[in-house]
């Protein structure tokens, strides 16, 4: 049955009113931010609530009020980092090294350091722009700066320290933490004493921590963009910035590799989750993979190599780092070696280099061994010198008839040839015998010396047999006979059968710290190979005789060689330091580092205990809670279905991975480590601390959460102020210092501070005295070589009053980290000293000289011996050690300690339990008369 249906027309509006369209509330338009069921499920698995989607770049939802707050925090950070940054006006801790490197850059003199160049280049740029000429040597801690823009140089790490604060704020906001939490993290970083101390001096850790923080921020921003929509312009921007920041962090220190590992682990996890997403096609997954490979691997490598290219371009002149590089590398540093003749024959004048170590040339000089045979020393010397020249002489004819190489036909040196090597300068032969070496005193090692005199043909102990090991493939003759630069050979001693040998063992001071050469019966092949570097023209060679030279290496060859030197040296830094520490002590803040002590003030690297310990507690808390949740999940509880649990697990888990990656690898290292190596891990620990705070206060009202954060900030600032005198080197009292030693292993120099603050008003900072008279100690016939020291008694012939004595602590004094590349300059100077007095082998009675310095003529008492300090002469009367003047011994000991550095400390350790005065007197005796120590 049909039915008529009439649709009712909408009512017509009254006259005069506008027409209103029918309501469409029953069918609302689809919102642009609407999420489908799958999208909501995916968002929940990543910690987002229903319908939540970020549209801002990098997931940063920062209000205008937050930017104003961040500006205030930035100003506070600037004030904390820059406050009195010009104090102290003398060298502090490792400014000894990194300031010196800036000077080397400006002088374009090549040097080697175990750290990549970026941070040093930035400090150098500030110094160069400020007019630094590189003349200041940064020789020792406490040396007053002169004509050096040290403030501008310190501003570089200080600026990076300031920039770390807002970076941490933005990172936590990008990680979806509350503004209160981000503010708490920025305040913690601002008032962390250790980070403040490290950022106020010419050191590398502040740039390292900043680029670590910047990398984390960029990667978090990229991850947020990846959740939103991949392969957009913003997605690529965040990814490329992450790669550049990775290159920067590893170009400051190799610790940046741990940051690369952190990002790498998170990237692998991202790719793994994408691989399990069936909505992502294999082709799309490949795009994700190659985009990350290019931006997170290739870009950091190119950035890192670019920094070394700048390093090589700037350091184009020869310098103290030459000795650690190959001869081919040295050809690129200033004036390279001239072409040399390829053929070597009897009568050739040659230089011989060791192949395996960078010890240098076979060398001799007019100094004898203090023991053993007491014959002339043979060493390896790293620099070109006339004392490296040897002449090859025939030794195959009985009776040692000399081969007339100038007139007789030329005789090349083949495999099995029997030769002598005659030192050109001293006219002595390379010699070995059954005498133990002075350092490697073992049965299978024989001493190698230079023996003979002009006109003496020598004996059988001067004879060596040439054994060719290999030649150059392109030069077939080099495998049959000696050819310059092409033939690797061994020298076997004819009489004893041992091989000429050298290893990385340094001779003591009497050997000028040069490398030991021995004759080894059980020689390792690599350490017994030699080659000829230069050969002068032989009289029998034609004028057009072939010449050879080193192949000039390209950038890649130089780059890889330098990486090898840095790696080997870094791994070899195993010597103990007065303030080194092991990783297990870092989270507990068991001990700091003494940076500087002077003028009754001290700079001591110590962290803010409240921030430090609370961050460690947060790490431990995360481990416990995460383990507990895993146990609950094993028992069937579905905690991870809760979006809040998932969110904070992802957040804290990311920061915990970063902490572990920057902390745990140090347990695998046997090298020298310090508290400041913990700073990148500390940054992650502080962020994790604040993330735990965000979780703990997530159910509280914003006002209460802010009040709790304010209390924590006040405690952090109060603790910071408690130790600020050690951070800035400000006046402090002994009582306050003692009260601040909360842990018994905090070895502050409390005895250096004055009793009351009012006493500091009378303390003036000493200035450098250019007119200080000098005096010479030693130089007596048969005694120690002369030492020039400051004549502290020259003005009034009396010791300085007690109050004017140096405030340097005799035990626990600030000491820079070891620079293994810094000794070659001294070796080069010492090698030229060929007129030192020989030390007698035996001394029956140990004595020490009581030295009287010359005062003004009018104040010298009658009957005293006069000494003319102006001429450098010092008269000394032999006085038994127990009768020497203690005040003079004290002064001499301090001066000798400055002259000889670590050697004094090393000798002092071997004296046993002597008190301070006895140790000083004994040290002076040993330094002035080393033969007495040998006799003991």
In this predicted structure, what is the pLDDT of residue 760? 84
Q: What angle do CA 264, 270, 275 make, to 5 degrees?
A: 125
pLDDT-derived band at 863, boundaries 50, 70, 90: very low
Q: What are the C-alpha distances in Å from 894 to residues 144, 311, 792, 889?
A: 18, 39, 11, 9
Q: Which two tokens stand for residue 583?
A: 């990783």
Q: Where are the beta strands (DSSP E) in 485-633?
A: 488-493, 499-506, 515-520, 530-535, 547-548, 593-598, 601-605
In this predicted structure, what is the pLDDT of residue 6? 57
Q: Measured between alpha carbons, how far is 245 from 218 in angstroms, rounded to an integer?
A: 8
- Model pLDDT for residues 35-44, shown as the tens digit of each residue: 566 666 565 5
In this predicted structure, what is the pLDDT of residue 543? 80
Q: Is the pLDDT of residue 550 over 60?
A: yes
Q: Is the pLDDT of residue 662 over 90?
A: yes
* SS (HEC) of 434-451: CCCCCCCCCCCEEEEEEE
Q: In sequence order, which residues have a C-beta less than 8 Å from that of residue 793 and are 6 or more positions away?
A: 799, 853, 855, 888, 891
Q: Measured between alpha carbons, how far is 115 from 566 in angstroms, rounded to an integer?
A: 7
- Model pLDDT for residues 745-775, shown as the tens digit of each residue: 999 999 989 999 888 876 554 444 444 444 4
Q: Please report which residue ranges of 253-379 form alpha helices under DSSP H.
A: 256-275, 282-293, 299-314, 327-330
Sign of CA dihedral 828, 832, 833, 834: positive
Segment 305-328 mean pLDDT: 90
Q: In sequence order, which residues have a C-beta less than 8 Å from that of residue 899 and are 6 or more positions away?
A: 787, 789
**Percentage with pLDDT > 90 across the chain:** 50
In this predicted structure, what is the pLDDT of residue 712? 96
In this predicted structure, what is the pLDDT of residue 873? 39
Least confidently predicted of 356-360, 622-626, 706-710, 892-896: 892-896
At residue 286, φ and ψ (nearest 5 deg) are -65, -40
**Residue, of 447 and 802, whose pLDDT is higher:** 447
In this predicted structure, what is the pLDDT of residue 248? 97
Asked if 672 contacts 576 with a C-beta cutoff of 8 angstroms, the reply is yes
pLDDT-derived band at 333, boundaries 50, 70, 90: confident
**Helix (H) or strand (E) run with residue 419 in it:** strand 418-423
Q: In sequence order, which residues have a C-beta less than 8 Å from that of residue 627 and are 6 or more positions away?
A: none
- How many CA within 13 A on the CB side of residue 83? 16
Q: Measured between alpha carbons, how far is 766 from 776 in angstroms, rounded to an integer?
A: 24
In this predicted structure, what is the pLDDT of residue 537? 85
Q: Is the pLDDT of residue 925 over 70?
A: no
Segment 336-363 mean pLDDT: 87
Asked if 693 contacts 596 with a C-beta cutoff of 8 angstroms, the reply is no
* SS (HEC) of 68-82: HHHHHHHHHHHHHHH
Q: Measured between alpha carbons, how far is 905 from 517 in angstroms, rounded to an integer?
A: 27
Provide DSSP, 755-801.
SSGGGGGG--PPPP-TT--EEEE---TTSPPPEEEE-TTTTTSSPPP
Provide DSSP, 82-151.
HTTTT-S-B--TTHHHHHHHHHHHHHTB----SS-SHHHHHHHHHHHHTT--S-----STTPBP-S--HH
In this predicted structure, what is the pLDDT of residue 372? 85
User: Which span out of 17-31, 99-113, 321-335, 773-787 was modeled with the highest average pLDDT?
Assistant: 99-113
Q: Measured between alpha carbons, how far is 172 from 687 in angstroms, rounded to an integer?
A: 7
In this predicted structure, what is the pLDDT of residue 259? 96
The partner residues of 340 in beta bridges, in order of sequence, read 548
Pairing of strands 418-423, 390-394: antiparallel
**Helix (H) or strand (E) run with residue 391 in it:** strand 390-394
Q: Measured between alpha carbons, how far is 451 from 391 in angstroms, rounded to an integer?
A: 14
Largest CA distance in the chain: 152
In this predicted structure, what is the pLDDT of residue 675? 93
Sign of CA dihedral 786, 787, 790, 791: negative
At residue 340, φ and ψ (nearest 5 deg) are -125, 160
Query: Is the link from the previous residue into 88 a cis peptide, with omega within 30 of 0?
Result: yes
Q: In sequence order, which residues have a C-beta less than 8 Å from that of residue 184 and are 6 or more positions away?
A: 690, 693, 709, 712, 713
Indicate the average pLDDT of the chain.
80
Q: Which two tokens stand for residue 574?
A: 């195993």
In this predicted structure, what is the pLDDT of residue 787? 44
pTM above 0.85, yes or no: no
Nearest Cα residue to 928 out of 817, 851, 827: 851
Q: Is the pLDDT of residue 586 over 50?
A: yes
**Residue, of 236 and 16, whose pLDDT is higher:** 236
**Residue, of 185 and 505, whose pLDDT is higher:** 185
Place of tokens 């997403």: 277
Q: Measured between alpha carbons, how far is 703 from 680 in angstroms, rounded to an integer?
A: 32
Q: Is the pLDDT of residue 799 over 60?
A: no
Q: Is the pLDDT of residue 224 over 60?
A: yes
Segment 565-583 mean pLDDT: 83
Q: Is the pLDDT of residue 317 over 50?
A: yes
| DSSP for residue 147 | S
Segment 720-736 mean pLDDT: 93
In this predicted structure, what is the pLDDT of residue 730? 92
Q: In sequence order, which residues have a C-beta less than 8 Å from that of residue 819 and are 6 or more positions away?
A: 96, 97, 113
Q: Measured between alpha carbons, how far is 431 from 446 in angstroms, rounded to an integer?
A: 10
Instruction: Round to the nearest angstrom and report the end-to-end CA distance of the chain.
Output: 134
Segment 391-400 mean pLDDT: 74
Q: Which two tokens stand for residue 414?
A: 């083949």
| DSSP for residue 851 | E
In this predicted structure, what is the pLDDT of residue 895? 45
Q: Is the pLDDT of residue 276 over 60?
A: yes
- Model pLDDT for residues 152-168, shown as the tens digit of each residue: 999 999 999 999 999 99
Q: Dihedral angle at the C-alpha atoms of 112, 117, 120, 125, nearest 10 degrees? A: 120
pLDDT-derived band at 539, boundaries 50, 70, 90: confident
Q: Measured between alpha carbons, how far is 875 from 896 in angstroms, rounded to an integer?
A: 18
Nearest Cα residue to 141 out of 98, 204, 110, 83: 98
In this predicted structure, what is the pLDDT of residue 384? 83
Segment 257-267 mean pLDDT: 96
- Model pLDDT for residues 130-153, shown as the tens digit of each residue: 999 999 999 899 999 999 999 999
In this predicted structure, what is the pLDDT of residue 42? 60
- Model pLDDT for residues 69-93, shown as the tens digit of each residue: 999 999 999 999 999 999 999 999 9
């Amino acid at each position: 049955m049909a039915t008529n249906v009439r649709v009712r027309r909408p009512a017509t509006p009254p006259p005069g009113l506008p027409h209103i369209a029918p309501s469409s509330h029953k069918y609302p338009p689809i919102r642009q931010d609407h999420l489908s069921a799958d999208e909501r499920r995916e968002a929940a698995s990543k910690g987002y609530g229903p319908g939540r989607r970020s549209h801002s770049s990098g997931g940063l939802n920062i209000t205008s009020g937050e930017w104003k707050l961040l500006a205030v925090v930035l100003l506070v950070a600037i004030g904390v980092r820059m406050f009195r940054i010009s104090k102290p006006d003398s060298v502090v801790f490792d400014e000894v090294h990194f300031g010196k490197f800036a000077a080397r850059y400006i002088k374009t003199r090549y040097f080697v350091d175990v750290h990549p160049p970026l941070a040093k280049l930035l400090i150098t740029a500030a110094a160069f722009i400020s007019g630094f000429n590189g003349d200041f040597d940064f020789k020792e801690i406490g040396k007053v700066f002169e004509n050096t823009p040290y403030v501008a140089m310190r501003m570089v790490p200080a600026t990076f320290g300031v920039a770390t604060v807002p970076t941490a704020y933005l990172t936590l906001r990008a990680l979806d933490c509350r503004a209160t939490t981000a503010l708490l993290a920025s305040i913690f970083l601002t008032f962390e004493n250790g980070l403040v101390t490290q950022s106020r001096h010419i050191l590398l850790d502040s740039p390292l921590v900043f680029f670590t923080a910047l990398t984390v921020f960029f990667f978090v921003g990229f991850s947020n963009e990846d959740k939103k929509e991949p392969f957009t312009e913003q997605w690529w921007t965040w990814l490329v910035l992450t790669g550049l920041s990775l290159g920067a962090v590893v170009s400051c220190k190799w610790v940046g590799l741990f940051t690369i590992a952190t990002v790498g682990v998170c990237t692998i996890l991202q790719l793994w989750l994408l691989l399990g997403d069936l909505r992502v096609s294999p082709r799309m997954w490949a795009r994700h993979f190659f985009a990350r490979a290019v931006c997170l691997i290739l870009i950091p490598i190119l950035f890192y190599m670019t920094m070394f290219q700048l390093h090589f371009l700037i350091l184009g002149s020869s310098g103290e780092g030459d000795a650690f590089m190959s001869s081919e590398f040295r050809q690129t540093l200033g004036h390279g070696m001239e072409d040399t003749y390829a053929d070597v024959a009897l009568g050739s004048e040659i230089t011989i280099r060791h192949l395996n170590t960078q010890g240098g040339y076979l060398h001799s000089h007019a100094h004898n061994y203090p023991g053993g045979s007491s014959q002339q020393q043979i060493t390896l010397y790293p620099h070109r010198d006339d004392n490296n020249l040897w002449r090859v002489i025939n030794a195959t004819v009985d009776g040692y008839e000399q081969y007339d190489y100038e007139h007789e036909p030329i005789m090349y040196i083949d495999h099995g040839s029997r030769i002598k090597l005659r030192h050109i300068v001293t006219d002595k032969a390379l010699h070995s015998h059954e005498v133990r070496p002075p350092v490697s005193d073992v049965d299978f090692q024989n001493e190698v010396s230079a023996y003979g005199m002009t006109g003496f043909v020598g004996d059988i102990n001067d004879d060596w047999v040439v054994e060719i090991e290999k030649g150059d493939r392109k030069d077939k003759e080099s495998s049959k006979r000696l050819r310059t630069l092409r033939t690797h050979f061994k020298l076997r001693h004819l009489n004893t059968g041992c091989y000429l040998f050298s290893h990385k063992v340094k001779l003591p001071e009497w050997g000028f710290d040069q490398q030991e050469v021995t004759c080894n019966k059980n020689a390792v092949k690599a350490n017994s190979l030699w080659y000829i570097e230069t050969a002068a023209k032989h009289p029998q060679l034609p004028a057009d005789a072939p010449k050879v030279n080193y192949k000039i290496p390209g950038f890649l060859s130089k780059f890889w060689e330098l990486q090898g030197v840095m790696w080997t040296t870094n791994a070899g830094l195993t010597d103990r330091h007065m303030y080194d520490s092991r990783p297990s002590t870092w989270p507990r803040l068991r001990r700091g580092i003494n940076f500087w002590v002077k003028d009754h003030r001290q700079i001591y690297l110590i962290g803010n205990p409240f921030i430090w310990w609370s961050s460690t507690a947060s790490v431990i808390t995360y481990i416990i809670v995460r383990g507990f949740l895993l146990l609950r999940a094993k028992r069937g509880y579905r905690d991870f279905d809760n979006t809040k649990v998932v969110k904070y697990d992802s957040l804290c888990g990311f920061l915990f991975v970063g902490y572990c990656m920057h902390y745990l690898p140090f347990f695998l290292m046997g090298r020298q480590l310090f508290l400041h190596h913990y700073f990148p891990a500390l940054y992650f620990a502080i962020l994790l601390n604040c993330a735990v705070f965000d979780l703990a206060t997530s159910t509280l009202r914003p006002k209460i959460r802010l009040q709790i954060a304010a209390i924590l900030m006040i405690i952090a600032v109060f603790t910071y102020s408690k130790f600020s005198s050690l951070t800035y080197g400000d006046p402090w009292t002994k009582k306050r210092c003692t009260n601040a030693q909360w842990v018994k292993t905090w070895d502050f120099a409390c005895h250096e501070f004055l009793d009351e603050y009012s006493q500091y008003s009378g303390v003036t900072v000493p200035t450098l005295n250019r007119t200080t008279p000098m005096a010479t100690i030693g130089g007596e016939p048969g005694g120690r070589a002369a030492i020039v020291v400051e004549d502290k008694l020259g003005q009034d012939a009396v010791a300085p009053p007690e109050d004017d004595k140096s405030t340097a602590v005799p035990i626990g004094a600030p000491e820079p980290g070891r620079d293994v590349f810094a000794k070659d300059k001294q070796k080069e100077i010492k090698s030229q000293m060929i007129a030192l007095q020989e030390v007698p082998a035996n001394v029956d009675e140990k004595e020490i000289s009581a030295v009287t310095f010359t005062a003004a003529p009018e104040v010298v008492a009658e009957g005293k011996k006069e000494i003319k300090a102006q001429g450098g002469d010092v008269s000394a009367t032999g006085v038994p050690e127990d009768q020497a003047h203690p005040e003079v011994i004290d002064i001499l000991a301090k001066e000798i300690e400055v002259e000889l550095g670590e050697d004094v400390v090393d000798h002092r350790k071997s004296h046993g339990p002597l008190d301070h005065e006895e140790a000083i007197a004994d040290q002076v005796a040993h330094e002035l008369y080393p033969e007495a120590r040998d006799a003991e």
